[in-house]
Chains A and B, each alone.
Chain A
Amino acid sequence: MIPIIGIMLLLLSIGLAVTIVFNEKYSKVISTVVSLIVMELAILLLYVFLAGAAGSPGSISENYMYYISNFGISLNFVVNPVSLALILMASVVSFVTMLSGNVENENLKVSSILVLLFELAAIGLFASGNLFIFFIFWDVGVVALFFMIYLLGSANRRMAAIKFIMYELLASLLLLFAIMLIYFNTPLHSFDISYITANYSSIPVGTQALIFSLFFFAFLINMPVFPVHLWLPDAHTEASTQGSMLLSGVLTKFGGYGMILAFIMLPIANEFTPVIAILAGFSAFYAAFVLMTQHDIKRIIAYTTIVEMSIVLVGISAFSTLGIMGATYAMLAHGFAISMLFLVSGTIGYMFSDRDIRSVKGVVRNSISTAYTFLTGVFATTGVPLTAAFVGDVLIFIAAIQKFSLYGAIPLFSIMLMGAFLYYVVNKSILSTKDASKPVEYVGTSQRVGFSILLFFIFLFGVLPFIALSIFSNFSI
């Protein structure tokens, strides 16, 4: 069998090295081609996985050299249904980011290097079969995005970047502490995720609860959910378009994926689920209300991320096969939708040199594609049927109602609140034709191509949900 994950990571590293060496003129071309090939490899991975899923337990694993052999840490990659969906999403989003995210066409070399580095981290993280490798890729991704915010961001990037790095590295240190605790409490001293899942019962119950809460807070910061979400709005507003696309589209999924792993590894989580669900529900409403007071388009979209990831956490806290499936599907859908929304808002910001919904008016007059892509993005975020988010939300709320009876459906209203405000924004700013603002620049072809790729995936997984759902055919917890 072809070691697809290995080839993907190798290709990305080679691409990274080549981009560093070559001069600015070629860097965008090289990195776009590399990420295109990686995206195709991810689709191939999906095919291989589906072809094997019928008979085998439905997971692909690859094993490479030892990193630190006395700890049994090797580069070992395992692809399960959750990670497969996220690898696919991450590679598509990175490709579009590379192709069309750099709206201003500035700093091509630095941005290409950082996007490739981040893509390497994301794919490695989602595919890791080993908590140690997971942690390493986590930190690489965080550092790549820190530089992305700081080097390519807008005026107030300094504060945003330092907030981002402090929050994220706090999360990574909690994570490090948790994985070291796990290592010393498993009987055979292992970082291996499948081994830990099989042997969690040998860890004392108190330690399990401690480890789970460390994991929980680390991933809560990253997702981000209410009390620890403060880094997100600033980071998204100040980052460049590419930075926001990757932050929201892929980085927040690190936390979501980790949360799913933590729940699967340590079923003691089941005892905390009501608290987690209440926290997630509160966070969704909180973010939906804060959203209404914002005027900057990017900031509004940043708060929708908090709402959506809180809904994902509701799905995870239902802690059933259906809930995990729903959470994965929602993350997949959200990755496509939110990166498209950030791409559109970056384009709008570039066109009008302004992102305030009170002053930007009549985008539809100047660029029909931008305006209607924004509208579709709003559909895709709020979970309108035939978009991918719909399937995810349906699965999540079925699972939540099964688990928490009808109380599980309460967070649904936060999506409605969010949707109401987003439609108001569309109505007031994007589609209003009264005294339309004059654009400074015009939208480029590469942005339109980027819109169409993301739209394709949003509708592909919305209209034909069985493609993604069939990878879960052998999945149960």
Chain B
Amino acid sequence: MQQYISMDEYALCIMILLFIFVNALSIFHKRKKAQLIISTTFLAVITVLAIVLLESNTYDIFAANLLNIYPFSMFFVALFSVGLIMVNIISYRYSKDYFAFSLLLGFVAFGMYSVAMAYSLIEIVLGIELVSLPTAFMIMVNGKENIEAAVKLFILSAIGITVLAFALVLLFPFDPQLSLTSISSMTGYLPVLALLLVIAGLAFEASIFPFNLWVPDVYSGAPANITAMLAGINKKVAFVALFEILFITMIPFSAAFSSMFQVLAVFTMFFGNIVALVQDNVKRLFAYSSISQAGYIAIGIAAATAYGVESSIFQIAAHLFMIIGTFAIILWLETKNIKTVQDYLGLSSRNRFAAFALTIFMLSMIGVPPLMGFVGKFLLFTSAINQGLLYLTLIAIINSFISIYYYARVMMSIYSKRPHEKVSMDWSIATVSLISLIVVILFGLYPQPFISIASTVSMSL
């Protein structure tokens, strides 16, 4: 459907390319503040352009069959850009080598955009690779103590990508172009094997059980600004890839992957929540909590309907804001050497805003109305019930119940009466957590606009 291509689309592509270029330049000019302003501006412009294209409901294939512009891709371009803006802002102060970070951020961003706008399966694999390998280097440039986490991430994402690439090889006979369209004449066991391998490969990135054993080590070993990106954005990229491959290419097998994801969702939720119960390190606790959140998101895939995807998309956006806000505060507290649940005792007397924001994020993760996390969970549960997956909803509800305990533990230590000196928060952390807080509360109180966007997005898939 080649039609007249609007200025916005040109502008978007040019902006994305320019963004990588200016970020690469940062290691030469070495001006920290200028670099922050430039990259934030570019990301903001990309966000605005993507939202414009999303609102105008454009369907186009652009740049030599490379970039697929439709509401689904535009939504995620916008969402990832907002996430990257937030990660960029918190990394400004707390990254050891901000210029190297900036350079790598360009690659990561391009990887994310190419997954979101993928036209072929190859692009998805390359995009995933571009997202995860630079992330490993981002961890590494922060110093020797992070090398273990970096190597773990590097090796495991390499394995994941290999498995994914092998899946594509198996699909090659059915569609030599490997384009992201429904492959109709799939027979035999090869496509089923490919489906399994796709799920396995992407489950590494999406931290779905049993491929998530690296997650807690890497999340707690990496500096918290990178952890925010890993949990907030990188994981979501894998989910986007899953949506694209499963709901476009593999749609004839929807019954098969639905039942697979039911099992995976159940195990992921239980694993994340039960192990989180005994964690003492707050960063590790939130690593496990984000695993369990991946389990909730997987419920939407298990429902295997447009409505299920819609609710997954909502929950993805909700979790992105919640977890980046949370890790921003954790990052700031880590520099003050406040790491374990015991160290959090009396946090409210140190900084009232940090205590309040963390509490709201945790309540949202539990799913307490009227916050964004609740709306997401509600949509997911209803999508499962709608497909007759009553037991899955029941298990998810039991899991929400288990999760109350460890969140409540942190909340209680935050608000225990333990007088401390006041500590003021610097502007970057305050900005990021305030943005997340406003989004979580606003779209919790009035989720309708966001839900209708998610619905358009899932319909366009």
Contact = CB atoms under 8 A, between A and B. Distances in A.
Contact of A136 (B366, B370, B401, B452): B370
Given A66-B448, A68-B447, A70-B451, A169 B386 contact: no
Contact of A150 (B382, B415, B455): B415
Given A139-B369, A151-B415, A161-B412, A67 B382 contact: no
Interface residues of A, number: 30
A67 B448 contact: yes
A180 B412 contact: no
A177 B412 contact: no
Interface string A121-149: 00000000000000110011001000100
Interface in B377-399: 378, 381-382, 385-386, 390, 393-394, 397-398
Contacts of B382: 71, 180, 183-184
A293 interface: no
A173 B368 contact: no
- Chain B interface, >50% SS class: helix
A184 B412 contact: no
A165 B386 contact: no
B413 to A, nearest CB: 9
Contacts of B369: 135-136, 139-140
A68 B404 contact: no
B105 interface: no
A427 B359 CA distance: 46
A310 to B, nearest CB: 25
Interface in B442-461: 446-448, 451-452, 455
A48 interface: no
A135 B378 CA distance: 11
B416 interface: yes
Nearest to A151: B415
Given A150-B415, A169-B401, A169-B404, A68 B451 contact: yes
Contact of A139 (B368, B394, B408, B447): B368
B412 A67 contact: no
Interface in B105-143: none
Nearest to B397: A173
B401 A170 contact: yes
A181 interface: yes
B104 interface: no
Contact of A68 (B375, B386, B397): B375
Contacts of A70: 451, 455
Interface string A156-173: 001001100110011001
B385 A162 contact: no
Contacts of B451: 68, 70
Nearest to A162: B408
Interface SS, A side: helix
Contacts of B370: 136, 140
Contact of B412 (A143, A150, A174, A176): A150
Contacts of A405: none
Contact of A162 (B363, B394, B405, B446): B405
B386 to A, nearest CB: 6
Contacts of B409: 162
Contacts of B400: 169, 173
A166 B404 CA distance: 7
B401 A158 contact: no
B385 A181 contact: yes
Given A67-B447, A158-B416, A176 B404 contact: no
A184 B386 contact: yes
A69 interface: yes
A128 B236 CA distance: 37
Nearest to A173: B397
Nearest to B382: A180
Contacts of A166: 401, 404-405, 408
A183 to B, nearest CB: 7
A370 to B, nearest CB: 29
Nearest to A158: B412
B350 to A, nearest CB: 16
Contacts of B393: 177, 180
Interface in B352-377: 363, 366, 368-370, 374-375
A176 B381 contact: yes
B415 A147 contact: yes
11 contacts: A68-B375, A136-B370, A139-B374, A151-B415, A162-B405, A166-B401, A169-B401, A169-B404, A176-B397, A180-B378, A183-B382
The 10 closest A-B pairs by CB, nearest first: A136-B369, A173-B397, A139-B369, A169-B404, A139-B368, A184-B385, A180-B385, A177-B397, A173-B401, A136-B370
Interface of B: 363, 366, 368-370, 374-375, 378, 381-382, 385-386, 390, 393-394, 397-398, 400-401, 404-405, 408-409, 412, 415-416, 446-448, 451-452, 455
Interface of A: 65-71, 135-136, 139-140, 143, 147, 150-151, 158, 161-162, 165-166, 169-170, 173-174, 176-177, 180-181, 183-184
Given A68-B451, A151-B415, 18 more contacts: A65-B446, A67-B447, A67-B448, A68-B448, A70-B455, A139-B368, A140-B368, A143-B363, A150-B412, A158-B412, A162-B405, A166-B405, A169-B366, A169-B404, A170-B401, A173-B400, A177-B393, A180-B378
